[in-house]
Structures are given as structure tokens and as C-alpha cells.
A and B are shown apart, each in its own frame.
Chain A
């Protein structure tokens, strides 16, 4: 059921009357949009190394744990992180490379896991779409390697694999990488947090309390 069509029409009529959008036949919304000022910084200035360094620094400022590894050592690095976590049951999105699912752990691959099953795992391992160094932000577009939204939400511990070639310096550079606007995005900047009580920053409210990142130093 939707609201009576009259409300829609009344609101749009009032808005049109208020903005005189129809008054000037020469006016075009798209042309006006193209003329908007755009003098802020789009392109970053850092070298590739400095960019990765900044990304790591910003992630750590949020309280995320970061380790680096070479492209050959990803599986080994994941195994080491899992072992160090002291946890045993992990969820993984369906598209995650099979060699990343380290042996010796209990894996729940998300081919339609029920909510209770995801709630029951101790951690989750996913890939990412992009990292933004300037704000230490990781963008998940929820592809088959990044998982459904709920998969990186309920488990208390999230290990995210980010490749150096995915890291940009500025937020506008991230948007340049989005050729087609994505349907689903979660931008993550550190673990869940609140400052609602006396402005004291507390790590971990409802989302994962622990965010770990493996930065894979692939050729940039």
C-alpha cells in the first residue's frame, strides 16, 4: 500500500511552486549541476609507500591491528592471525580463495548461513574493495569475496585482507574507482565505537569490537 497519490502530487506541486523550476524554459538541472564548484583536492600527492604508511597509521589510530605481508604469504599471514586470535570458528564469504581458509580451524562458508549460525562464529575473514588512506577507511561493496553485510557485522572479530593496489589517498580518488555506483556499501573506519557517555571513546558497541587488517604489498 502506498500513500494517497494526492499527497505526492500536492508536495511536488508545492515544491515546484517554491523553486520556480518550471519558470525558465532555458533552465536545465543537469547543466546547472555540471557548473557546480569543484576546487577541493581530488588527487593525492603522496608516493605509493607514503600512502600505504598513512593508511596503516590511520587504521592504528582507530584501534585496528595491522600487519603487512607479501602477495605470496597471504595464506600464511591469515593462518598466523587466526592462530594468534585464540579463536576457532570463523565465517568466510563464498568467493574467498580456498587457500585462505587455513587448516586447523572450523570454517563456516556463507552459502546462505542462518543468522544464528553467523552469530555463533567467533570471527570472520573477508577481502575489501578499497582503502582510503586519508581517513583510514575501508570500503566493502559486498561482493562474493567481501560477503553479505551481516557477515562482517555479527562476529566480534573481523580480519580484512586489503591489497596495497586497492589503497587510494583521498576519498574523491575512491569515488573515481567506482565506475558504476555500487548498490551496497559499508564504509568502515576502525572498530565500532561510541562517545555517548561523557565523550569518552569506547571501542566496540554493537559491531565487531576487533578489526584486524592484513595489508598485502602487491605491486602498485
Chain B
């Protein structure tokens, strides 16, 4: 299974186009938009029904939010506790400051195992550090075992959602990929047949590959346990059958106690897939003799999380439990799908997380990829105030631009400066109105609307019309109608 060096170039924030440009191909692809809208409608309808049936939903949200905030406020305390308990139970804990260090740790562990193949559970953290390309480059074959990840890997495609990463691919596209890559010419496009094909394709891998890599939904400080939430059973296979298991987890994933799962598991499945509970959740503690992998490693990844933690408004970003409810609710994501965000984390959470992971040096267009409608905040099970963070990040982006010398070449900057000058005096404002009426007359159609503007004005008119300037300003109109106005006008003459 050969792959190109960069598996997700489109989703690498260092290479990705700014959001407005990246969104254009999707907006012009009706099939893709249909696939995305269909998937989202299904999840949203199911989620809505199941949240409504939970009479204590808001109390659960409040508890979930408070638990996550508390874990972050005491992160060093709980991380050390997790490390101690996990080590005592036979696990080995590694710490990685950044993506490169995490990749190196994983690679070293695989070399110790003489691994040539590795089976993987879907993990966002692995995608974040672009682990697969580095493993492939080191000669290790990677087998993604989540159905959606398998579709993307075989189709050389990229994830567009954090829970259902292949939601932009429809059944006939899946059939084409599986038929080609698995050599099954007569495969039908029935999802049941496609799923069965994936089961057969991966079965032998589960039974024979001795090394697995996975992520963590939660790390439990009290016990040193790790929890993984899934549907298909591929996670259980990877967590149970291999000799060696490597878990890759962000440092923010920690929960204080085992009992906290009573809240987190109630909100997670409902928010993510609109189920009362996902089919399988696994929890294990270090190494259990006679049951499961006998060598267990946890790699704890910082990769800018500690710096996000240091900003009071942005800290809440780290409460995220990766349920994807925010992208399902987002009117922007619904139109653009996930690839436009140029990151493995799309949607509203990606719009706040990615620029911060990039130390605000890349992905600066993402905080603007939102209408600030607040739907994401309303559905978030851990109450992350995403609009609040978006606005703060926009302020940071603006501050960056303020300091830049070439700002004088930016039409937006110049326009604002000119507006500032014009609005500062009544005389200049009136003169500008008169000039504007003359200038815009050339672009105003017979129906009184402006359908197309040149230059920076086109940004507005390419998606909507602009009302032409009326022949009379409000001030003129007012002056012509009130006794005081008429008197003033007479005096002025």
C-alpha cells in the first residue's frame, strides 16, 4: 500500500489555501454538497430527538462542562496522577512536546518491535501529527481499520468530518474504490455488501498484525485507565488482539475520575451520532495478564496545548471531546464541507483549534469562516463558547495585520482609513455622498440595483446584489419636510 509522502496535503495548515478560496471547489460541486447535506440532516434529526428525550440535558451539559474545565484548571495534577497509576498498572508513559517528537517516539517504539505493519484505530491526534506519512516513509505499512478511514485510505482521499470522516463520499463512490482496490469486480453498492467487504478485507490483518496504534477519548487520572468510544468493533480488535498497543493522546484528554464517565458517555454518543449509546466503549488499565496487549505505551502530546491553556478565553477550546456536534449544526460547514478548512479539524471547533495549534502563524482565515450565529455553542455538550473564541482570535489576526508594513497596499485597510477620514466631518461626508451617487450611477441597473462591482466591491456583488444609492439622502428628505428644516434651508440660501 504505497502512499505519497504527504498524506493530507490539502489538510496541512502549512500548505492549505485560505478558507474562501478553498471553499470554492465545493460550492461548485453539487454532488459533494448533496452528500454532505444528506449526512448532516440524518445526524441532526437523530440528535435532536435523543437530546429532547433527555429531561436533564442542560444539567448534563453543565456537569460535563464543569468537569472538563476543572480537569484543565488542574491539568498538571491530573496528568501526573494518570502517569503514576498507568505506570503502576504496567503501562509506559511518554511525553511529546510537539508533533515531530511524537512521531519519533512512535517510530522508535515500532522499531523496537521490528514492526513492518501496523493496524490503526481512527485517531484525530494521529492525523494532527501526520503520523501515517512518516510511518510509510519509514517502510511501515499502515492499515486504517475504521470503515470510513479505510474508504479514505484506499481512495487516497482526505477526512472531512471528525466523527464520520467519509461523509462526503456516497455509496457508488465507495463501491468504485473497494472494487478497484480490493479486486472485487462484482461488488454491489449496497452499504451492507460494502461493509461486509471491509470486514473480510481487514479480518486477517486483525488476527495477524502484532502492533496497533490508537487514540483515547478519555484518560482517567484516578485509575490510569484509557477509554475508547467506537461503533464497529475495529477498536476492540486493535485493543485486544495485538501484542503491543500504542495510544496517542493530547494532554487535555484527562478526566479526574472513573465516575466522570457517567456524564461524558451520556452526552458524547447523543451529540456525536444521535444514539443513546455507541455500540462499544472499551476501558483498560495498563496491562492485564492474559487479556489483551502485554506491552502498552501512552504518548502524551502537548503540541501547543499548553500555550492554548495559558490564554483565559481560549482555554475552553481544550474542553472539546471531539463529538462534532458543532460542525453538524454549522450553516457554513453545511455548505462547504470539511476540506475547505485546510485542517484535519474542520467546522467551528477546527476554526478555533487549528489557528491556535499553528500558533496563529497559519490558518488565519479560519476565525472568519463563521457567521457567529452561535448554533455551535448551543449544541456543544461541554459548552465551549465558540463565537467568543472566534471573536478573540479575529482580534489577534487584526493585531497581526496592524503591525504589517504592506498593510498600506491592502484595499480593505485603505478603504477603512478613507472612510474614517470621510466620516469625521459632515462636509466631507456629504461631498462623498454626492460623488458616490455619481460614481455608482454607472453600475446601477434600471431596476435600481447594482448587480456587479469591480475590484474589492466584487466581493460583495459576486454573491448578492447591492441597492443603488437613492437620488435623495435622508438629510435632504428631512430638510424638505420639517418647518425647521425648511427654515434652515431658506436661511442657508
Asked whether, in the complex, the Cβ of B277 is within 8 Å of the Cβ of A187, the reply is yes
CB distance from B317 to the nearest CB of A (A): 13
A-binding segment of B57-65, B409-417, B444-452? B57-65
Q: Mark B266-281, 1 if CB is under 8 A from A, else 0.
A: 1001000101111111
Contacting A at CB under 8 A, from B95-117, are 95-97, 101, 105, 108-109, 112
Asked whether, in the complex, the Cβ of A19 is within 8 Å of the Cβ of B279, the reply is no
Assembly CA distance A177 to B57 (angstroms): 23
Contacting B at CB under 8 A, from A181-206, are 181-200, 202, 204-206
Asked whether, in the complex, the Cβ of B191 is within 8 Å of the Cβ of A202, the reply is yes
Assembly CA distance A206 to B93 (angstroms): 29
Confirm or deny: B232 has a beta carbon within 8 angstroms of a beta carbon on chain A.
yes
Q: Mark B441-473, 1 if CB is under 8 A from A, else 0.
A: 000000000000000000000000000000000
Asked whether, in the complex, the Cβ of B170 is within 8 Å of the Cβ of A198, the reply is yes
Asked whether, in the complex, the Cβ of A40 is within 8 Å of the Cβ of B59, the reply is yes
Q: Which B residues lie within 8 Å of A134 (CB)?
A: 276
Q: Could you write out 12 A-B pairs with CB less than 8 Å apart?
A: A3-B96, A11-B97, A15-B251, A15-B309, A18-B309, A183-B288, A184-B292, A192-B232, A194-B147, A195-B273, A202-B192, A205-B231
Asked whether, in the complex, the Cβ of B234 is within 8 Å of the Cβ of A112, the reply is no
Asked whether, in the complex, the Cβ of B70 is within 8 Å of the Cβ of A205, the reply is no
Q: Mark B317-350, 1 if CB is under 8 A from A, else 0.
A: 0000000000000000000000000000000000
A interface residue numbers (CB < 8 A to B):
1-3, 7-8, 10-12, 14-19, 21, 29, 32-33, 36-41, 58, 62, 112, 115-116, 119, 132, 134-137, 142, 148-150, 153, 171-172, 174-175, 178, 181-200, 202, 204-208
Q: Which of B66, B239, B261 contacts A36 (CB 8 A)?
A: B66
CB distance from B242 to the nearest CB of A (A): 11
Closest A residue by C-beta to B61: A40
Assembly CA distance A8 to B234 (angstroms): 31
Q: Which A residues lie within 8 Å of B361 (CB)?
A: none
Asked whether, in the complex, the Cβ of A19 is within 8 Å of the Cβ of B236, the reply is no
Asked whether, in the complex, the Cβ of A37 is within 8 Å of the Cβ of B92, the reply is no
Q: Which of B97, B232, B290, B291 contacts A194 (CB 8 A)?
A: B232
Asked whether, in the complex, the Cβ of B75 is within 8 Å of the Cβ of A192, the reply is no
Asked whether, in the complex, the Cβ of B283 is within 8 Å of the Cβ of A185, the reply is yes
Assembly CA distance A184 to B232 (angstroms): 19
Interface centre among A174, A175, A183, by most chain B C-beta atoms within 10 angstroms, is A183
Asked whether, in the complex, the Cβ of B164 is within 8 Å of the Cβ of A199, the reply is yes
